[in-house]
A and B are shown apart, each in its own frame.
Chain A
Amino acid sequence: MRRSRCVALALPLLMVLAAACGSGSSSSSGSGGGSSSSSGGHYGGTLTLLANSNWGTADPGKNYTLQEWQLLRLTHDGLVQFRAASGSAGTELLPDLATSIPKPTDGGKTYTFTLRPGIKFSDGTPLKASDFVTVFKRQFTIPGPANGFYENLVGGAACLKSSSSCDLSKGVVTDDQAGTVTFHLTAPDPEFLDKLTLPFAFAVPANTPLKDTGNNPPPGTGAYMWKSYDPQHEAVLVRNPYFKEWNPDVQPKGFPDEIDYKFGLSVEAEVTQVENGQADWLFDPAPSDRLNELSTQYASQVHVNPLTAEYYFALNVNIPPFNNPQARQAINFAADRNAYVKIFGGPSLAVPTCQVLPPNFPGYQPYCPYTTNPGDGKWHGPDLAKAKQLVQESGTKGAKVAVVGTTDEVGKAITEQMVSDLNAIGYNASAKLLSGGIQYGYIQNSDNNVQVGYSQWYQDYPAASDFLNVLYGCGGFHPHSDASPNIAGFCDKTIQAQMDAALTQGVTDPAGANKAWAKIDQEVTDQAPMVQLFNPKLIDFVSKRVSGYQFSPQWYMLISQLSVK
Chain B
Amino acid sequence: MAVSQIASEELEPAGELRPEVAGRSPWALAGRRLLRNRVAMVSLGVFLVIVAISFAAPIYAHDIAHTNPFQSNLNGTTVINGQRRPVMQQGGGVLKLGETPIGPTWQRNFFLGADNQGRDVMARVLYGGRSSLAIGIGSAFIACMIATIIGVIAGFFGGMVDGVLSRIMDVIWAFPVYLLAISISTVLLTAPNGLALGPVHIQANSLWLPTMIIAVIYVPYVARPVRGAVLSVREKEFIEAATAMGASNMRIMFSEILPNVISAVIVLLPLMIATTILTESALSYLSIGVQPPNASWGTVIDDGQQLLYTRPMVAIAPGILIVLTVLALNVFGDGVRDALDPRAKVRIGD
Contacts and interface: CB of A to CB of B under 8 A. Distances in A.
Interface of A: 268, 287-297, 299, 302, 304, 336, 338-339, 342-343, 345-349, 402, 407, 409, 412-413, 415-417, 419-421, 423-424, 430-435, 438, 442, 447-449, 539
Contacts of A402: 204-205
B292 A291 contact: no
Nearest to B206: A430
B77 interface: no
B306 A409 contact: yes
B119 to A, nearest CB: 9
B91 A438 contact: no
B107 interface: no
B92 interface: yes
A289 B310 contact: yes
Contacts of A433: 189, 287-288, 291-292
Given A288-B116, A345-B99, A420 B71 contact: yes
Nearest to A304: B95
A187 to B, nearest CB: 38
Contacts of B186: 434, 438
A437 to B, nearest CB: 11
Nearest to A290: B309
Contact of A289 (B90, B117, B291, B309): B309
B72 A417 contact: yes
A289 B311 contact: yes
Contacts of A345: 91, 97-99
A296 B92 contact: yes
B93 interface: yes
Contacts of A304: 95, 97
Contacts of A442: 190
Given A432-B291, A449-B192, 13 more contacts: A288-B307, A289-B306, A292-B310, A294-B97, A342-B88, A346-B91, A402-B204, A409-B116, A416-B293, A430-B292, A431-B292, A434-B189, A434-B190
Contact of B117 (A292, A293, A416, A448): A416
A295 B74 contact: no
Contact of B293 (A297, A349, A419, A434): A419
Nearest to A430: B205
Nearest to A338: B75
Contacts of A294: 95, 97
Contacts of A338: 74-75
B308 interface: yes
A291 B97 contact: yes
Chain B interface main SS type: loop
Contacts of A447: 192
B93 A299 contact: yes
Contact of A413 (B94, B117, B288): B117
Contact of B96 (A336, A348, A423, A434): A348
Given A295-B91, A346-B97, A407-B286, A430 B74 contact: no
Nearest to A449: B192
B100 interface: yes
Of B93, B96, B98, chain A has the most CB atoms within 10 Å of the CB of B98
A347 to B, nearest CB: 8
17 contacts: A289-B100, A294-B97, A297-B93, A336-B74, A342-B75, A343-B99, A346-B97, A349-B97, A413-B117, A416-B293, A419-B292, A419-B293, A420-B71, A423-B293, A430-B292, A430-B293, A438-B190
Contacts of B310: 289, 292
A412 B292 contact: yes
Contacts of A432: 189, 204-205, 291
Contacts of B302: 412
A434 B75 CA distance: 27
Contacts of B204: 402, 432
Given A346-B97, A402-B205, A287 B306 contact: yes
A420 B75 CA distance: 13
Nearest to A382: B75
A420 B293 contact: yes
Contact of B291 (A268, A295, A413, A431): A431
A413 B293 CA distance: 10
Nearest to A294: B97
Contact of A288 (B117, B205, B306): B306
A291 B116 CA distance: 14
Given A417-B72, A442-B190, A342 B293 contact: no
A415 B90 contact: no
B293 A295 contact: no
A539 B204 CA distance: 36
A133 B286 CA distance: 47
A291 B91 CA distance: 7
A295 B190 contact: no
A448 B193 CA distance: 9
Contacts of A346: 90-91, 96-99
Of A287, A338, A407, chain B has the most CB atoms within 10 Å of the CB of A287
Nearest to A292: B91
Given A339-B72, A431-B292, A432-B204, A417 B97 contact: no
A151 to B, nearest CB: 31
Interface in B263-312: 286-288, 291-293, 302, 306-311
A295 B70 CA distance: 31
Nearest to A409: B306
A322 to B, nearest CB: 16
A343 B116 contact: yes
Contacts of A407: 286-287
A430 B295 CA distance: 12
Interface string B113-134: 0001100000000000000000
A413 B311 CA distance: 16
B75 A295 contact: no
A448 B190 CA distance: 8
A175 to B, nearest CB: 52
A539 B97 contact: yes
Interface in B57-116: 70-72, 74-75, 88, 90-100, 116
B97 A295 contact: yes
A416 B292 contact: yes
Contact of B309 (A287, A297, A419, A424): A287
Interface string B141-153: 0000000000000
Given A402-B205, A416-B72, A299 B293 contact: no
B207 to A, nearest CB: 12
Contacts of B205: 402, 430-432
A348 B292 contact: no
B74 to A, nearest CB: 4
A269 to B, nearest CB: 12
Of A268, A294, A304, chain B has the most CB atoms within 10 Å of the CB of A294
Given A302-B97, A416-B293, A417-B74, A292 B88 contact: no
